[in-house]
A and B are shown apart, each in its own frame.
Chain A
């Protein structure tokens, strides 16, 4: 792989189409508001998602206050508590993580990393963001309607989601939640089609699939999966909306509400759970795969070493993506479904551990014999590996059907999924922001603030969620707004809860420091230049930074090599950009 054979790419002249005109916006509004430029849309998506993330963060403080110091804050009653957990969960999973990785990083990085001028359907891309914003507004509106937001838990299981014993069940809360999800999915579909088709159709010359950075592989696979998984949630949402508004009984069996039999019958609550998790499990990997891809690139770049086992990494992404569609019922081992399903789903679930473990090995083998620069993006990548391995391993408890029986629906589950799909992907998002902020703005984020942000976030999050597993092992159920004198729980458990709350508040406040850094560095950050990390991938080779509309000026880049030519023996620098024909810069153009 030292000198990738140039093949036909070396002799194809650069594209001669003078298409830059097509990409010039014509007014301030079309440039910054109703923009069709993927980079602007990416920033719109990211800013909105970070805003939602801050709201969800505040909700997590409120529920931690209740758990750590029950009864002290009188405004957090059972109703409010369940509304907080529901909104926190749904916001973080769908409106923050999915939107940030695909709408944010996908939009910014796909065209730049594959050498395209923009997404292939810019208008649909613009609509995708505006529908996302509408979905967010509808969701936020539920805080202000009578009865408040739904408190059904983020899984929205019927029948309770649409009944009176649940906050928002017979008010507006659940309706707005379902409508918002439907709008989100419509918007996402427009974006997702764009990401998939752009990767397949708009790659620069020489950018074969097996030369793509793993970031693109991760986002591409996740988008493809999301296009297949979200429709299940859409269908579930439509049916539940009908059950709630029109009185149908898709999910409603013969049932009693507060002592009164209802005019319902024939529906199945389990049907919703299957639909939800047919979406919900792939969703875990829709969040994880972009994180896998991004973290691979962060580690490779900052360890100045090729990613170890690139082909295995690509195949692992694809295999994980495919397998994740046949494991959904591992969320339902104790749901009352046919127990014989347990054999199948436990087996598929544990098989997924193998390609996932391969990814972990290859990350740490990339560090091995590297030249490790411990700058802020790298620190976040290291933090990701620790938390992801920890959370992934506890997944082996929960995936192994009979072990799940005592642990399911306890705080063990809460600790597990926060570690593996909360903390770990968020650390990647932070690392990625520190990494690409210089390209987006032309300035570096403040390093000292970044390091403080990393250490408090990483160690704090670990201190929150690692001990929490043991509460669950002891048997403390999740979704209890107070433990309320369980005989088998020692008083020390409450001390642990208070400790977790204090750490959570500290970690939360440090995120405000990060937001400050984002804003402050816009003007005061150190100027970055075009390629501050000395990275190989195409986005760092743009003629201007930040890249203008159309990205590449007159000529599209031509790609000669894979994305990981770091520390190539014989090269004159410790990196060789993908669009550099020879490993030495001064070399003459290759002969045909």
Chain B
């Protein structure tokens, strides 16, 4: 009796915790609301299954607990019941997988008009590179990294001449414009993660990974590293500011002038 009761408390307590706990996802700031929706579908389906299984267990424990004179039923198989349960499970799984794959397809299909930006990770800081007026990023290679070229840029690439480089500063993005983040690391694995954007992706030395998003509200958000990258891992933080287009363009203008001034200055 007590055992059955405790199981009921576990099942219903879990649901109650889910409903009243103050710990929930941060308000979303990107176009990936579909991901949140898929999570909600999954919570519903899995929550129902969990409660049903545990309550059924509790019922069995109460109803069929050992008492004098009780004999268990002898029934090795019940094909009908087993196939029914298999079928229902299959439907439930499909109900989660189908929207999941549908949204995944969106996640990996970058819109044509997305702006390329580059995020570079190194122990333990973030750097960013934005394309200048030409909209193109210049080439880069870890083998070019040196004290005066910390991101390993290819100096003679014409596309790279007007690139805007931000080291140790904050990343700015215009609201409502799709962005493709090209992710690069020059030492170990890192992971570019902004909880409000929902998206994240590892940065792997020797290759370029990516994800895309459209920021949907202005504000300042924290960038975290989400892949263990050595002892400084929790301290590898950054900031991304999502601004209105006017603010963003004004800032861009300022940066371009600064970059131009730096490039045209005699060495």
Where the two chains meet, the residues of A that have a C-beta atom closer than 8 Å to any C-beta of B are 1-2, 78-79, 82, 151-153, 157, 159-160, 163, 165-167, 169, 253-259, 261, 265, 267-270, 303-306, 308-312, 334-336, 339-340, 342-343, 346-347, 350-351, 353-354, 357-358, 360-362, 364-365, 367-374, 379, 382, 385-386, 389-390, 393-394, 396-397, 400-403, 405-406, 408-410, 459, 462, 466-467, 470-471, 473-475, 477, 479-484, 486-488, 490, 492-493, 496, 564, 566-569, 574
- A402 adjacent to B38 (CB under 8 Å): yes
> Which residues of the other chain, A, contact B232 by a CB distance below 8 angstroms?
78, 165
- Enumerate chain B residues within 8 angstroms of A367, measured Cβ to Cβ: 57, 60-61, 64
> What chain B residues lie within 8 Å of A459 (beta carbons)?
6, 10
With known contacts A357-B89, A372-B61, A309–B82 Cβ distance under 8 A: yes
Closest to A496 in B: B23
Cβ-closest 8 pairs across A and B: A253-B206, A475-B195, A165-B230, A336-B209, A160-B188, A305-B72, A393-B46, A400-B100
Q: 1/0 contact trace for B66-99 toward A, CB 8 Å?
A: 1000111111111001100110011001001100
Name which of B6, B54, B196, B226 has the most chain A CB atoms within 10 A of its CB.
B226
One of A163, A354, A369, A487 near B73 (C-beta < 8 A)? A369
B243 within 8 A of A: no
Determine whether the beta carbon of B39 is less than 8 Å from that of A258. Answer: no
Q: Is the CB of B65 within 8 A of A374?
A: yes
Residues of B contacting A394 in the complex (Cβ-Cβ under 8 angstroms): 46
Least CB distance from A383 to B in Å reads 10
Interface contact B230-A160, CB-CB below 8 Å:
yes
When the two chains form their complex, are residues B64 and A166 in contact, meaning their CB atoms are under 8 A apart? no
**Once the chains are docked, how many angstroms separate the CA of A78 from the CA of B24?**
28
State A351–B92 Cα separation when bound (angstroms). Answer: 11
B202 in contact with A336 (CB, 8 Å):
yes
Bound Cα distance A163, B227 (Å)? 15
- Measured in the bound complex, the distance between the Cα atoms of B67 and A373 in whole Å is 9
Smallest CB separation, A397 vs chain B (Å): 5
Q: Report whether A339 and B89 are in contact in the complex, using a CB–CB cutoff of 8 Å.
A: no
Smallest CB-CB separation from A566: which chain B residue? Answer: B72
30 contacts between A and B (CB under 8 A): A2-B74, A157-B227, A157-B228, A159-B189, A255-B186, A255-B187, A256-B187, A268-B207, A311-B77, A336-B201, A336-B203, A342-B108, A354-B90, A357-B85, A367-B64, A371-B70, A371-B71, A371-B72, A373-B66, A396-B42, A405-B200, A406-B195, A467-B23, A475-B224, A477-B226, A484-B234, A486-B224, A487-B222, A493-B23, A567-B72
Q: Contact: B82 with A312, CB < 8 Å?
A: yes
Is B143's CB within 8 Å of the partner chain A? Answer: yes
Complex-state Cα separation, A488 to B195, whole angstroms: 8
Q: A367-B57, A402-B100, A488-B196 are in contact. Are A339 and B108 (CB under 8 A)?
A: yes
Chain A residues whose C-beta falls within 8 Å of the C-beta of B32 in the assembled complex: 405-406
**Alpha-carbon gap, A336 to B14, bound state (A):** 35
| Chain A residue nearest in CB terms to B100 | A400
B104 touches A402 (CB 8 A): yes
B 103-136 to A, binary, CB cutoff 8 A, 1 in contact else 0: 1110110000000000000111000000000000
Contacts A347-B97, A393-B50, A480-B233; is A372 near B228 (CB within 8 Å)? no
Distance in angstroms from B12 CB to nearest chain A CB is 13
Q: A270-B204, A396-B42, A467-B17 are in contact. Are A346 and B97 (CB under 8 A)?
A: yes
Which chain B residues border A166 with CB–CB below 8 Å? 188, 230-231
Query: What residues on A are CB-neighbors of B191 within 8 Å?
Result: 334, 409
Chain B interface bracket (under 10, 10 to 19, 20 to 34, 35 or more):
35 or more
Asked whether, in the complex, the Cβ of A353 is within 8 Å of the Cβ of B186, the reply is no
The A-contacting residues of B in range 242-261, CB under 8 angstroms, are none
Q: Which residues of B contact A382 (CB under 8 A)?
A: 3, 7, 57, 61
Q: Given the known inter-chain contacts A253-B142, A574-B72, please indicate yes or no for A401 contacting B104, CB distance below 8 A.
A: yes
B215-243 vs A, CB cutoff 8 Å, 1 = contact: the mask equals 00000011011111111111100000000
Residues of A within 8 A of B100 (CB): 346, 400-403
Residues of B within 8 A of A343 (CB): 101, 104-105
Q: Please, which residues of chain A bring their CB within 8 A of the CB of B24?
A: 470, 473-474
B141 beta carbon closer than 8 Å to chain A:
yes
Q: A477-B225, A568-B74 are in contact. List 12 more A-B contacts (CB 8 A).
A: A159-B205, A256-B122, A256-B145, A265-B143, A343-B101, A365-B81, A402-B34, A403-B35, A403-B100, A406-B198, A408-B200, A567-B74
Complex contact B97–A350 (CB within 8 A) = yes
B22 at the interface (CB under 8 A from A): yes
Cα(A311)–Cα(B26), bound, Å: 47
> What separation, in Å, do the CA atoms of A389 and B10 have in the docked complex?
13
Q: Are B77 and A309 within 8 A (Cβ)?
A: yes
Given A160-B229, A367-B57, A394-B46, CB of A403 within 8 Å of CB of B204: no
A529 CB, nearest partner CB in chain B, Å: 20
CB contacts (< 8 Å) of A481 on chain B: these are 234
| Contact present for B188 and A159 (CB under 8 Å) | yes
Contact among B26, B61, B187, B198 with A163 in the assembled complex (CB-CB below 8 Å): B187
B206, B227, B230: the one contacting A254 at CB < 8 Å is B206
Residues of B within 8 A of A492 (CB): 22-23
Say yes or no: A310-B77 contact (C-beta < 8 A), given A255-B187, A473-B25.
Answer: yes
Residue of B26, B186, B196, B206 near A268 (CB, 8 A) is B206
Q: Does B264 lie at the interface of the complex (its beta carbon under 8 Å from any beta carbon of A)?
A: no
By a CB distance below 8 angstroms, the chain A residues around B17 are: 466-467, 470
- Known contacts A374-B61, A374-B65, A394-B46; A484 and B23 CB within 8 A of each other: no
In the bound complex, how far is the Cα of B229 from the Cα of A482, in angstroms?
Answer: 15
In the complex, what residue of chain B is closest to A474 when comparing beta carbons? Answer: B23
Assembly CA distance A78 to B124 (angstroms): 14
Contact indicator B231/A167 (Cβ below 8 Å): yes
> B5 contacts the other chain (Cβ, under 8 Å)?
no
CB atoms of A386 and B10 under 8 A apart: yes
